[in-house]
Amino acid sequence: MPQLVDGPVRVSVPATSANLGPGFDALGLALRLRDELEAEVVPSGLTIDVTGEGADAVPRDETHLVVRAMRAAFDQMGARPPGLRLWCRNVIPHSRGLGSSSAAIVAGVTLARGLVAGGGLLMDDDQVLALAADLEGHPDNVAPAFLGGFVISGHDDDGWYATRAAVDPRVSVVVFVPPDPVATEVARGLLPAQVPHADAAANAGRAALLVAALAGRPELLHRATRDLLHQDQREPAMPASLALVRALRAEGHPAVVSGAGPTVLVFTDGPVHPVADWSTGPRELLARCPGGWAAHHLEVDTRGAVVTG
């Protein structure tokens, strides 16, 4: 049985936005809004302390998502800690389409690997991604949460795959976060079982264009973020979000629903050097935040899960 390490292990994990318009279940972006967690092996029992987002709602037992991910990783490595202490400082909003569950899963697997002596040999990065994707059910959030940056991911007969792609340093995002959550299961339940071939082809072309736009052609982001497969279909669960997306897009902003929603994400540039023909800059966008919502201007986070101790 592997040896467990003494002392705490700390990790931080970024928020993520999946889909980005046309890249349904395939494209994801890490954002500089990070949860911080610490775990330690103790002689017995399970202690969980949570502050920040979700502190009043998340369980404090074995059903806590971070703990479930840790247990799955320990099982894969053949480790049996006698007890655990977990501390979470949550910043990522829950059930808003910013990857809070993926951050929890990636954090849990990463913490468990760090708590096992030689954990990096027992579970390499590909195995971390595979386990995280198995637990989440799809890779588009867990992949950028673990790897950072802009990630293309999916599943085929050979299993899960994920690869990073370039992001122009001018690109940042503004996110508008509504006060009420939408469960991912509810949002996915609104999707049709089949889509027209023409819509699928159009989305495939725009997803490919989005990769090029993010890499160095940000003036193409408005065209590249048009979606036909999932955003309008989810409108009954988030009408205010879709109304904001349409209003912003009508003005030329590359606005999308972030993940399963209801957060709205808008690609923009930094506050110092606005690019006039595709963005009016984040300050003007931030002023568009609906009453009762929260708005954040966030950089793309090139770091994924970072073990800090």
CA distance readout (Å), 140 to 119, 177, 234, 282: 24, 20, 18, 26
CA distance readout (Å), 42 to 45, 118, 243, 307: 8, 19, 50, 19
Annotated binding residue 100: yes
CA distance 17 to 98: 5
CA distance 153 to 150: 10
Q: Which amino acid appears at position 237 of this protein?
A: A
Annotated binding residue 119: no
Q: Which amino acid appears at position 301 of this protein?
A: D
Annotated binding residue 97: yes
**91 close to 32: Cβ distance less than 8 angstroms:** no
Residue 4 DSSP label: B
Please work out, in degrees rounded to the nearest 5, the angle formed at the alpha carbon of residue 271 by the alpha carbons of 268 and 273.
85
Annotated binding residue 129: no
Strand partners for 117: none
> What is the three-state SS of 202-236?
HHHHHHHHHHHHHHHCHHHHHHHCCCCCCCHHHHH
CA distance 220 to 105: 33
Annotated binding residue 99: yes
- Per the rule left: phi > 0, alpha: psi between -120 and 50, beta: everything else, 153 is beta
Annotated binding residue 258: no
Annotated binding site for ATP: which residue ranges? 93-103
Annotated binding site: which residue ranges? 93-103
